[in-house]
Amino acid sequence: MNLTISHRGQSYSLSLLPDDTLAVLHARLEELTSTPPQLQKLLYKGKNSKTLDDQVTLTQAGLKDGMKIQMLGTTANELDGVKAVEDDQQKRDRIMKERALKGPTKVCNNPTISSSDNLNYRFHKLIPLAHLPNPSSALDLLQRLSDDPAIRHVMQKHKFVVGVLTELAPHEHPELLGLNENAGQQIKLRLRTDRYDGFRTYKEVRRVLCHELTHNVWGDHDNNFKELNSLLNREVGEYEASVKAGTNVLGYSGEVYEQSESGSRSHGSHVLGGSGSDAILLLNDSTEDRRRRALEAAERRLRQEEEEMENSCGTAGRSAVAE
């Protein structure tokens, strides 16, 4: 029986006997991909190997000669990396507790972020996917997200801890833009375009990151989730507005958050395209009316963007609460 297994963009051809068990197949795949059998998930013809006993034969499992199988799974090295992050987090927690028992320590006066917050409320490890093109550029983008002052601000304010920040491969998860595993143990973001000819815009990726950070607290896309997600995006905007106005103590001079390009295109024509009687009405409107209309348009745009993101988020299903 000849089988073709696809895993992270690579194909593996295996020749097995029909009476071989799934355990034999899993062992062969571990040799090829370094993915332990218990972490392998084989998808084929609407079936999932996780629901089957590993002692059933390949024929009993519904596998046939020439069949193509998609395998999902985490390698042993990646598991070791996550465990190292968790061990490091436990070590830091222990040090913080020991320091707390010793009483207050005199530190430099910093009105923004304490040293203990810097140690805890952050991304503890950045991992690009080495099997994808140009991993160094992906790491640069992950580092930029990790160092983004506005993201650091909301993480410290809401005490968000993320073990690993990494990326999603478009060909492996074409329907997803982001995924939060185990409330912050690992966040995965779609950094690349579908054709691997570049990277998605920074503003779009960062907005998905805010969405996935919200899953550190709320799992489902319910009203609690929507309120916190809106708050995070608002705090990012307010933080960068203060930077732009020169009132932020960090003195950050980078990009200021703006709506996504798609959002701008879809709603800009309605704001700027008035003519005739509509234009006269706009001229006669008060400043308060214009502000109200702009706010309503912004809220509609944000709702639309959030709905699109919820449908592309792997952490929870589609929104459980109707708009």
How many angstroms separate the CA atoms of 117 and 137, rounded?
A: 28
For 153-171, write each residue's pLDDT tens digit: 999 999 999 999 999 998 8
Q: What does the pLDDT average to over 246-251? A: 51
pLDDT band with cut points at 50, 70 and 90 for residue 118: low
Note whether 40 and 49 are within 8 A (CB). Answer: yes
- pLDDT category of residue 244 using cuts at 50, 70 and 90: confident
269: left (phi over 0), alpha (psi -120 to 50) or beta: alpha
What value does the mean pLDDT take over residues 139-147?
Answer: 96
- Indicate whether 323 pLDDT > 60: no
Reading the block at residue 177, the tokens are: 């833009």
Express each pLDDT in 1-30 by its tens digit: 999 999 888 899 999 999 999 999 999 999
Cα–Cα distance between 168 and 178 in angstroms, integer? 7
Determine what percent of the chain is predicted with pLDDT higher than 70. Answer: 68
DSSP state of 256: P
By the 10 Å C-beta count (0-12 exposed, 13-18 middle, 19+ buried), 260 is classed as middle
HSE-up of residue 218 (Cα within 13 Å, Cβ side):
18
- CA 217/CA 214 separation, integer angstroms: 6
Q: How confident is the model at residue 47 (pLDDT cuts 50, 70, 90)?
A: confident
Q: For 250-309, write each residue's pLDDT tens digit.
A: 444 444 444 444 433 333 333 333 333 443 444 556 677 766 676 666 666 666 666 666
Q: Would you list the DSSP string of 182-223?
A: TTTTEEEE--B-TTSSSB--HHHHHHHHHHHHHTTT--SSSH
What span, in angstroms and rounded, lies between the C-alpha atoms of 250 and 78? 35
Q: Taking a C-beta distance cutoff of 8 angstroms, is the pair 125, 163 a contact?
A: yes
CB neighbour class for 194 (10 Å; exposed up to 12, middle 13-18, buried from 19): exposed
The answer to whether residue 189 scores a pLDDT higher than 70 is yes
Residues with a known catalytic role: 212
CA angle at residue 200 from 194 to 203, to 5 degrees?
Answer: 150
